[in-house]
Chain A
Amino acid sequence: MEHQLTETDGVRVLAVHGRIDVSSAMTLRDLLGAQIDSPAARVLVDLSDVALIDSSGIGILVTAHRRAFGQGANFAIAAPAAAVARVFAMTRTNKLLAIYDSVEVGVAAMRRG
Protein backbone atom coordinates (compact mmCIF):
# COMPACT_ATOMS: atom_id res chain seq x y z
CA MET A 1 0.00 0.00 0.00
CA GLU A 2 1.27 3.46 -0.93
CA HIS A 3 -0.30 6.84 -0.36
CA GLN A 4 -0.19 10.52 -1.23
CA LEU A 5 -1.54 13.36 0.86
CA THR A 6 -2.70 16.59 -0.77
CA GLU A 7 -4.96 19.42 0.29
CA THR A 8 -7.71 20.96 -1.84
CA ASP A 9 -9.93 23.80 -0.60
CA GLY A 10 -9.15 22.93 3.01
CA VAL A 11 -9.92 19.21 2.52
CA ARG A 12 -7.06 16.80 3.15
CA VAL A 13 -7.20 14.14 0.44
CA LEU A 14 -5.42 10.88 1.26
CA ALA A 15 -5.04 8.90 -1.95
CA VAL A 16 -4.30 5.25 -1.21
CA HIS A 17 -2.83 2.92 -3.81
CA GLY A 18 -2.66 -0.86 -3.94
CA ARG A 19 -4.24 -3.25 -1.48
CA ILE A 20 -5.40 -2.56 2.05
CA ASP A 21 -5.05 -5.70 4.13
CA VAL A 22 -3.83 -6.79 7.53
CA SER A 23 -0.21 -6.07 6.48
CA SER A 24 -0.98 -2.40 5.77
CA ALA A 25 -3.98 -1.63 7.98
CA MET A 26 -1.89 -0.29 10.87
CA THR A 27 -0.13 2.11 8.51
CA LEU A 28 -3.53 3.37 7.35
CA ARG A 29 -4.71 3.67 10.94
CA ASP A 30 -1.70 5.82 11.84
CA LEU A 31 -2.09 7.96 8.72
CA LEU A 32 -5.75 8.64 9.46
CA GLY A 33 -5.08 9.19 13.16
CA ALA A 34 -2.52 11.87 12.29
CA GLN A 35 -4.92 13.65 9.93
CA ILE A 36 -8.06 13.50 12.06
CA ASP A 37 -6.40 15.74 14.59
CA SER A 38 -8.91 18.49 15.35
CA PRO A 39 -12.61 19.35 15.04
CA ALA A 40 -11.71 21.42 11.96
CA ALA A 41 -10.15 18.46 10.13
CA ARG A 42 -11.75 17.46 6.83
CA VAL A 43 -10.28 14.19 5.59
CA LEU A 44 -11.26 12.45 2.37
CA VAL A 45 -9.80 9.02 1.53
CA ASP A 46 -9.48 8.44 -2.22
CA LEU A 47 -9.89 4.68 -2.83
CA SER A 48 -10.04 4.88 -6.65
CA ASP A 49 -6.72 3.01 -6.97
CA VAL A 50 -7.39 0.39 -4.29
CA ALA A 51 -8.09 -3.07 -5.69
CA LEU A 52 -8.75 -4.90 -2.42
CA ILE A 53 -9.78 -4.03 1.11
CA ASP A 54 -10.07 -6.69 3.79
CA SER A 55 -11.87 -6.79 7.11
CA SER A 56 -9.02 -5.09 8.94
CA GLY A 57 -9.13 -2.19 6.46
CA ILE A 58 -12.89 -1.88 6.86
CA GLY A 59 -12.41 -1.79 10.62
CA ILE A 60 -9.82 1.00 10.36
CA LEU A 61 -12.21 3.13 8.27
CA VAL A 62 -15.07 2.56 10.71
CA THR A 63 -12.78 3.57 13.59
CA ALA A 64 -11.66 6.70 11.71
CA HIS A 65 -15.28 7.60 11.07
CA ARG A 66 -16.09 7.26 14.77
CA ARG A 67 -13.00 9.20 15.80
CA ALA A 68 -13.91 12.03 13.43
CA PHE A 69 -17.53 11.99 14.56
CA GLY A 70 -16.44 12.12 18.19
CA GLN A 71 -14.22 15.12 17.53
CA GLY A 72 -16.69 16.97 15.35
CA ALA A 73 -14.36 16.53 12.36
CA ASN A 74 -15.42 15.51 8.85
CA PHE A 75 -14.33 12.15 7.37
CA ALA A 76 -15.39 10.52 4.12
CA ILE A 77 -14.45 8.02 1.41
CA ALA A 78 -14.28 8.78 -2.31
CA ALA A 79 -14.44 6.77 -5.51
CA PRO A 80 -14.20 3.16 -4.32
CA ALA A 81 -13.71 0.75 -7.21
CA ALA A 82 -16.45 -1.85 -7.74
CA ALA A 83 -14.72 -4.63 -5.79
CA VAL A 84 -14.16 -2.35 -2.80
CA ALA A 85 -17.65 -0.83 -2.94
CA ARG A 86 -19.01 -4.37 -2.88
CA VAL A 87 -17.22 -5.06 0.41
CA PHE A 88 -18.70 -1.89 1.92
CA ALA A 89 -22.14 -3.10 0.80
CA MET A 90 -21.64 -6.66 2.11
CA THR A 91 -20.59 -5.40 5.52
CA ARG A 92 -23.26 -2.67 5.42
CA THR A 93 -20.59 -0.14 6.34
CA ASN A 94 -21.82 1.83 3.32
CA LYS A 95 -24.75 2.80 5.55
CA LEU A 96 -22.39 4.26 8.15
CA LEU A 97 -19.56 5.82 6.14
CA ALA A 98 -19.96 8.88 3.93
CA ILE A 99 -18.99 7.63 0.47
CA TYR A 100 -18.80 9.98 -2.53
CA ASP A 101 -18.66 8.93 -6.16
CA SER A 102 -15.56 10.99 -6.87
CA VAL A 103 -12.90 13.06 -5.14
CA GLU A 104 -14.29 16.21 -6.78
CA VAL A 105 -17.81 15.58 -5.45
CA GLY A 106 -16.40 14.72 -2.02
CA VAL A 107 -14.23 17.84 -1.80
CA ALA A 108 -17.13 20.02 -2.90
CA ALA A 109 -19.45 18.53 -0.28
CA MET A 110 -16.88 18.68 2.53
CA ARG A 111 -15.84 22.23 1.66
CA ARG A 112 -19.42 23.30 2.25
CA GLY A 113 -19.93 21.08 5.30
Chain B
Amino acid sequence: MPDSMTISSRVECIDDARRWVAERAQTALVHAGGTADLELALTEALANVIEHSYAGQGAHEIRVGTEVTEDVIRVTVRDWGRIADARTFVRRDLDDPGEGGYGVFLMEQLVDDVRRELPPDGGTLLTLTKYLRTPNERRRS
Protein backbone atom coordinates (compact mmCIF):
# COMPACT_ATOMS: atom_id res chain seq x y z
CA MET B 1 0.00 0.00 0.00
CA PRO B 2 1.48 3.39 -0.97
CA ASP B 3 2.55 5.63 1.87
CA SER B 4 3.99 9.15 1.78
CA MET B 5 5.50 11.97 3.81
CA THR B 6 6.54 15.51 2.98
CA ILE B 7 9.74 17.38 3.80
CA SER B 8 10.93 20.91 3.17
CA SER B 9 13.51 21.39 0.47
CA ARG B 10 16.38 21.78 2.95
CA VAL B 11 19.38 19.47 3.25
CA GLU B 12 18.79 19.23 7.01
CA CYS B 13 15.49 17.47 6.24
CA ILE B 14 17.07 14.68 4.17
CA ASP B 15 17.73 12.65 7.31
CA ASP B 16 14.02 12.68 8.24
CA ALA B 17 13.08 11.20 4.86
CA ARG B 18 15.94 8.70 5.01
CA ARG B 19 14.87 7.39 8.41
CA TRP B 20 11.24 7.19 7.30
CA VAL B 21 12.12 5.17 4.20
CA ALA B 22 14.61 3.00 6.10
CA GLU B 23 11.91 1.96 8.57
CA ARG B 24 9.72 0.77 5.72
CA ALA B 25 12.55 -0.83 3.78
CA GLN B 26 13.87 -2.77 6.74
CA THR B 27 10.63 -4.68 7.07
CA ALA B 28 10.45 -5.38 3.32
CA LEU B 29 14.01 -6.01 2.12
CA VAL B 30 15.38 -9.50 2.62
CA HIS B 31 18.91 -9.17 1.27
CA ALA B 32 21.67 -7.55 3.24
CA GLY B 33 22.67 -4.04 2.30
CA GLY B 34 19.45 -3.30 0.45
CA THR B 35 18.24 -0.76 2.95
CA ALA B 36 21.62 1.02 2.98
CA ASP B 37 21.57 1.15 -0.83
CA LEU B 38 18.08 2.62 -0.84
CA GLU B 39 18.99 5.18 1.84
CA LEU B 40 21.97 6.39 -0.18
CA ALA B 41 20.06 6.48 -3.48
CA LEU B 42 17.33 8.53 -1.78
CA THR B 43 19.96 10.87 -0.31
CA GLU B 44 21.35 11.54 -3.78
CA ALA B 45 17.88 12.02 -5.26
CA LEU B 46 16.84 14.52 -2.57
CA ALA B 47 20.13 16.42 -2.78
CA ASN B 48 19.60 16.76 -6.55
CA VAL B 49 16.05 18.06 -6.10
CA ILE B 50 17.14 20.62 -3.50
CA GLU B 51 20.13 21.83 -5.51
CA HIS B 52 18.73 21.73 -9.03
CA SER B 53 14.90 21.67 -9.01
CA TYR B 54 14.61 24.21 -6.18
CA ALA B 55 17.99 25.96 -6.66
CA GLY B 56 18.82 25.64 -2.97
CA GLN B 57 15.69 27.46 -1.82
CA GLY B 58 14.34 25.83 1.34
CA ALA B 59 10.69 26.89 1.35
CA HIS B 60 9.39 24.26 -1.06
CA GLU B 61 7.88 20.83 -0.61
CA ILE B 62 9.21 17.44 -1.56
CA ARG B 63 6.92 14.44 -1.19
CA VAL B 64 8.59 11.11 -0.55
CA GLY B 65 6.60 7.91 -0.99
CA THR B 66 7.07 4.19 -0.63
CA GLU B 67 5.22 1.27 -2.12
CA VAL B 68 6.02 -2.34 -1.32
CA THR B 69 4.77 -5.17 -3.50
CA GLU B 70 5.60 -8.86 -3.48
CA ASP B 71 8.69 -8.28 -5.62
CA VAL B 72 9.85 -4.69 -5.23
CA ILE B 73 10.05 -1.65 -3.03
CA ARG B 74 9.51 1.64 -4.87
CA VAL B 75 10.58 4.96 -3.42
CA THR B 76 9.17 8.03 -5.12
CA VAL B 77 10.48 11.59 -4.90
CA ARG B 78 8.04 14.23 -6.14
CA ASP B 79 8.94 17.88 -6.55
CA TRP B 80 7.23 20.83 -8.19
CA GLY B 81 10.37 22.74 -9.07
CA ARG B 82 12.33 23.45 -12.19
CA ILE B 83 12.55 20.51 -14.57
CA ALA B 84 16.16 19.51 -14.97
CA ASP B 85 17.33 18.27 -18.34
CA ALA B 86 18.67 14.79 -17.59
CA ARG B 87 21.04 15.13 -20.54
CA THR B 88 22.87 17.94 -18.72
CA PHE B 89 23.54 15.99 -15.51
CA VAL B 90 27.25 16.02 -14.77
CA ARG B 91 28.68 12.53 -14.72
CA ARG B 92 32.06 11.85 -13.27
CA ASP B 93 34.63 10.10 -15.40
CA LEU B 94 35.56 7.35 -12.93
CA ASP B 95 39.10 7.30 -14.27
CA ASP B 96 39.45 10.94 -13.25
CA PRO B 97 38.34 11.23 -9.58
CA GLY B 98 37.11 14.66 -8.53
CA GLU B 99 34.87 16.55 -6.15
CA GLY B 100 31.56 16.17 -7.99
CA GLY B 101 29.56 14.22 -10.52
CA TYR B 102 29.07 10.97 -8.59
CA GLY B 103 25.46 11.55 -7.52
CA VAL B 104 23.48 10.31 -10.52
CA PHE B 105 25.96 7.51 -11.10
CA LEU B 106 25.63 6.26 -7.53
CA MET B 107 21.84 6.48 -7.61
CA GLU B 108 21.74 4.34 -10.75
CA GLN B 109 24.16 1.80 -9.29
CA LEU B 110 22.39 1.43 -5.96
CA VAL B 111 18.89 0.59 -7.15
CA ASP B 112 17.60 -1.68 -9.89
CA ASP B 113 15.70 0.98 -11.82
CA VAL B 114 15.51 4.78 -11.90
CA ARG B 115 12.55 6.31 -13.70
CA ARG B 116 12.04 10.03 -14.24
CA GLU B 117 8.56 11.28 -15.21
CA LEU B 118 7.17 14.76 -15.85
CA PRO B 119 3.61 14.93 -14.41
CA PRO B 120 1.13 17.25 -16.15
CA ASP B 121 0.85 19.54 -13.13
CA GLY B 122 4.58 20.35 -13.23
CA GLY B 123 7.79 19.27 -11.58
CA THR B 124 9.33 15.83 -11.61
CA LEU B 125 8.44 12.41 -10.26
CA LEU B 126 11.44 10.17 -9.69
CA THR B 127 10.88 6.49 -8.91
CA LEU B 128 13.65 4.35 -7.43
CA THR B 129 12.92 0.63 -7.61
CA LYS B 130 14.75 -2.04 -5.65
CA TYR B 131 14.02 -5.75 -5.94
CA LEU B 132 13.20 -7.42 -2.66
CA ARG B 133 14.98 -10.60 -3.65
CA THR B 134 18.21 -11.29 -5.45
CA PRO B 135 18.01 -12.50 -9.07
CA ASN B 136 18.82 -16.05 -7.89
CA GLU B 137 16.02 -15.96 -5.35
CA ARG B 138 13.60 -14.71 -8.00
CA ARG B 139 14.61 -17.50 -10.39
CA ARG B 140 14.10 -20.16 -7.70
CA SER B 141 10.59 -19.02 -6.81
Q: Measuring CB to CB, which residues of chain A are less than 8 angstroms from any residue of chain B?
A: 19, 21-23, 51-52, 54-56, 58-60, 62-63, 82-83, 86-87, 90-93, 95-96
* Interchain CA distance A104-B105 in the complex, whole Å: 33
Q: State the main secondary structure of chain B at its contact with A.
A: helix
Which residues does chain B contribute within 8 Å of A56, judged by CB atoms? Answer: 47, 100, 103
Q: How large is the interface on B (under 10, 10 to 19, 20 to 34, 35 or more residues)?
A: 20 to 34
Q: Measuring CB to CB, which residues of chain B are less than 8 angstroms from any residue of chain A?
A: 11-12, 14-15, 18, 33, 36, 39-40, 43-44, 47, 50-51, 92, 94-95, 97-103, 105-106, 109
Q: State the main secondary structure of chain A at its contact with B.
A: helix
Shortest Cβ distance from residue A24 to the other chain B in the assembled complex, whole angstroms = 9
Which residues does chain B contribute within 8 Å of A59, judged by CB atoms? Answer: 98-100, 102
- Please determine whether B47 and A91 come into contact, CB atoms closer than 8 angstroms: no
- Please determine whether A23 and B106 come into contact, CB atoms closer than 8 angstroms: no
* Interchain CA distance A55-B33 in the complex, whole Å: 18
With both beta carbons as reference points, the residue of chain A lying nearest to B103 in the complex is identified as A55
- Please determine whether B44 and A83 come into contact, CB atoms closer than 8 angstroms: no
Shortest Cβ distance from residue B84 to the other chain A in the assembled complex, whole angstroms = 16
Q: A23-B12, A52-B36 are in contact. Are A63 and B43 (CB under 8 A)?
A: no
* Interchain CA distance A56-B39 in the complex, whole Å: 15
With both beta carbons as reference points, the residue of chain A lying nearest to B92 in the complex is identified as A91
Q: A22-B11, A59-B100 are in contact. Are A51 and B109 (CB under 8 A)?
A: no
- Please determine whether B14 and A21 come into contact, CB atoms closer than 8 angstroms: yes
- Please determine whether B47 and A22 come into contact, CB atoms closer than 8 angstroms: yes
* Interchain CA distance A62-B99 in the complex, whole Å: 6
